[in-house]
Amino acid sequence: MRFVIVTGMSGGGKRTAMKMLEDMGYYCVDNLPIPLIDKFVELIVTPNSEISKVALGLDVRADQNFAEAESMLARMKKNGYAFEILFMDASDQVLIKRYKESRRMHPLSMEGCVEDGILKEREILKRIKKKADYIFDTSNLLTRVLKEEMDKIFVLNEEYNNLMIRVVSFGFKYGIPADADLIFDVRFLPNPFYIDELKNHTGNDKPVQDYVMSFAEAEEFLMKLTDMLTFLIPNYVKEGKHQLVIGIGCTGGKHRSVTLANEVFGRLKDKGKYGITITHRDEKLT
């Protein structure tokens, strides 16, 4: 039997993950009172049970001590019950935004201060996060991409290194992406903006791509960058990094950066067991 514990920050996407697991054929139980979990586990592991895939949702509640849940998981492990932990996360800024949009109260901030609730919850969950087998940061993760990555783990049983890479093209005139880990400036290449027939196109259009990639410097840059990233990524995985944001910028974020971000994405997407997405932040800005 495959047993998945789904937990994480409130607002991080736990319910979405549970719904996806249900669609994958998992028997899903959410918000089960902690004292009942032991009995539930005993029932589903009986030899005659027809249930082969189970997902159990655990979250922080104001009326429950999460330490009890951690003790329960320790007992399960000691008794030989195998399970995996899926941890759903997001940045504090994104969580605050989601709570404001939904107008819901954080379970640990009944007096109304969402930031305080998030801080308390992170402290409570830090131990179980360290033990998690899979961590998804949904701050910039499309639902479609989340499903693809979960399919790899829970349907196709592929190896997963817990690293989500996001390649972002941007324009320096609009500012550097605040969450970028690595920034690369491609303004050394000739700018298609000054060519009339290319000005109103973007790096997603073949004429611009052909122009940008016609320069030997573009290919050499990509070769060296891909080589460096191929070296760095396994070391980031080893270090325990869960999210890597690679920013590629030009002046306006429409031509050179978009072209080269697409190239980097294409060269990395089949290089390892990690998730990878691409975003063109400023492509549609004028």
Quick one: how far is CA 251 from the chain centroid?
A: 28
**Above 60 in pLDDT, residue 62?**
no
β-bridge pairing 2-8 and 134-137: unpaired
Q: In what order do the strands lie in the sheet with 182-185?
A: 182-185, 243-250, 164-171, 275-280
Q: Could you give the domains of the chain?
A: 2-154 (3.40.50.300), 164-280 (no CATH)
For the stretch 85-128, pLDDT in tens is 999 999 999 999 998 888 788 888 766 688 888 999 999 999 99
Helix (H, G, I), strand (E, B) or coil at 80: coil
**Above 70 in pLDDT, residue 64?**
no
Instruction: Indicate the pTM of the whole model.
Output: 0.74
Give dist(CA 11, CA 106) in Å, integer: 9
Q: In what order do the strands lie in the sheet with 2-8?
A: 27-30, 53-57, 2-8, 84-89, 134-137
**What backbone phi and psi angles, to 5 degrees, belong to 204?**
-90, -5
For the stretch 227-285, pLDDT in tens is 999 999 999 988 888 889 999 999 999 999 999 999 999 999 877 778 888 999 999 87
